[in-house]
Each structure stands twice: as structure tokens, then as C-alpha cells.
Amino acid sequence: MTVSAIKTRVSELLGTRYPIIQGGMMWVGTAEMAAPVSNAGGLGVLTALTQPTPEALAAEIIRCREMTDKPFGVNLTLLPSINPPPYEAYLDVVIDSGVKVLETAGNNPREFIAKAKAAGVKVVHKCVAVRHALSAERNGVDAVSIDGFECAGHPGEEDIGGLILIPLAARKLQIPVIASGGIGDGRGLAAALALGGEGINMGTRFCATREAPIHDHIKRALLDASERDTRLIFRSLKNTARVLRNAISEEVVATERRPGGCEFEDIRPLVAGARGKVALDSGEVDGGVITAGQVVGLIDDIPSCAELIERMVEECRERLAVAQAAFN
């Protein structure tokens, strides 16, 4: 069954049937994840830095095109670093490969945005505060994806949920707002639209699909988790990240809470990115840090991407009809 399209400024901007984005996810945003989302009418997103080199990203884009003829995007997260990756070379690959949507996160340097837009690339910037969204709008992005405190990954340090951030952003911005964080079903999609969002961005929910390129034991852990089964790590270091509760995240939190706190070097061996990738690949739930949002509490099955998206759209339509009926 294919349900009717949802037409918003976001779906028109992206060229998709539905304004549903699979956000960039480290180690997960590969062609195996992005292509099924795009084929189902959403926007699949490759994660640039999951690939070890710009050349590897170019090859992954080719691979994704072999799996879908629908639009897909690339995420490029720009973070301060002593030894930064070759961000501009990754951007050049996006442009030269003809990818039409770039999802940025972290910094939003004006020169990168200008270069992408000059090449005809649409830029969606992900942020966690309205002031950052306004800055991104001034820098020329086409839309912003705003993360509520419920989200996986880095929610910022101000602990503001989506019920506040989404309408506030929609009120203050002229460009479209995409709701992110805590959305995993049609009710969440309906709520996002009612709050002024024109699309949604999901990460954790797409990890619990049949196509997601992670071990079934990790998917089962997401399925079994409740809304209380995430932990905030790096809190004391002012770089908060929301992850799944497991032995590693509990140890990190305990280390941060010890008298006198801790330095990053004290927890570095626990949180190494490579260790998290091994956990995703091996299925060892306690093997590393696993990024996950509070939406795990809403996950009760492991569908295909197409089943998930079509069910969400139909449920969204039903919930909005119920809400409208209250006024009749």
C-alpha cells in the first residue's frame, strides 16, 4: 500500500514524496540505510565521515545510486578538531557527484554554505537552539532541522524539548523547520506538523529497521529499551551526548560523578568511536557507546523502512483527522 503524499516546503525542497529525513548517523549512514529510505519516499542520508576518505565517500555515493533512483543526501558534520578531517575535500565530492542535498551539523561556516549553494546543492543545517537556527538562516541555509532534548547524540547544554523548540523556531524563522528528536511514529509526525514543523528527521527509529546496517542484537536492545534507558554522558565536560544505557555508558556516568569529576582522558578508552563501531557490527551491546534517543520507548517492532514510513504517514493522517473532529 502506498499512501498519499505529504506536500510541504520541505518535501518540495528535497524532491521527496514525504518530508521524512533519515538523519546522518556515524557508522550507520551508508548506502544500505539511505537507499531504502529514499525508495520508500523519504530522504536517505549518507554520513560523509563514516567513510575514511573523500574518495571512499565518492564510491559510496555511486553505490547508493545503484540502489535507488530517488533523491538522497549527504551529512557533513563540522566540528573543531586539532587534526580535522579534510572537510572541503568531502564537500567537493558531494558537489562533484551531483548530490543535491547536504545536511550539515556542528559549525555552519558561511563559505561552505555559499560553495554548496553556488553548485545548486540544498543545505539543511541541524542545530539545537533557535539562536543557532537564526544564525544558519542568515548564513543562507535552505532549512533547519532543530533537535529537541529528547534526541540521540548531542542535544546541547540547555535541555529544551521539542514542544518548545519547534514552535519557537517556526515562529522566528522564515525558512522551513524540520522537527528532530523523540519522533518515531505517526503521532510524532502529526505533532511536528501541528507545532509548525514542515518535516521530521529521525535517526534512532531508522536504526530499528530491517535494512539498518547494524547487528540484530543492537536492534533488539533498542526494541527492548524503555524511554528511561538512555544516559547523558560528557555532561560534566559540557559536551553532552545521549546514548543507550549499557555497561559502558553507566561507567562513564559514574566516572563523571566521582568526587572531583574527571578529565576526558579518564574516559577516552570507554568512548572511543572505533569501539562503538565494533559494538554495532558485533552485536555486543555492552561493547561500546551506542547512540540512541528517548524514542527507544516508542519502538515496538523492527519493520522495513517502507513499512515504517507508510505506517507513520497513515497514522499521522488518522491522528490529525481525530484532532480536527474535535472542532466539529
Sign of CA dihedral 21, 26, 28, 32: positive
Cβ contact 104:125 at 8 Å = yes
Cβ contact 298:207 at 8 Å = no
Question: Measured in whole angstroms, how far is the alpha carbon of residue 57 from the centre of its chain?
Answer: 18
Give the Cα separation of 124 and 74 in Å (integer).
Answer: 10
Cβ contact 156:239 at 8 Å = no
Give the Cα separation of 176 and 201 in Å (integer).
Answer: 13
Q: Between β-strands 241-244 and 230-233, what pairing exists: parallel, antiparallel or unpaired?
A: antiparallel
Question: Measured in whole angstroms, how far is the alpha carbon of residue 290 from the centre of its chain?
Answer: 14
Task: Give, in order, the Cα–Cα distances in Å from 278 to each of 34, 204, 250, 265, 320.
Answer: 21, 18, 18, 21, 42
Binned average pLDDT, 10 residues per bin, the chain of 328 residues: 88 98 96 98 98 98 98 93 89 98 89 95 97 96 97 95 98 98 98 98 98 98 98 95 98 95 93 92 97 98 98 98 94
Cβ contact 67:35 at 8 Å = yes
> Looking at residue 328, what is its pLDDT?
83
Cβ contact 41:16 at 8 Å = yes
Cβ contact 230:242 at 8 Å = yes
pTM (two decimals): 0.96
* Long-range CB pairs of 216-224, under 8 A, 24+ apart, other chains included: 216/283, 217/283, 217/284, 217/285, 218/279, 218/280, 218/283, 218/285, 218/290, 219/302, 221/246, 221/285, 221/290, 222/292, 222/296, 222/299, 223/299, 223/300, 223/301, 223/302
> Looking at residue 2, what is its pLDDT?
66
> Looking at residue 3, what is its pLDDT?
79
Q: Which domains does the chain have, with CATH numbers?
A: 9-211 (3.20.20.70), 216-294 (no CATH)
Cβ contact 222:194 at 8 Å = no
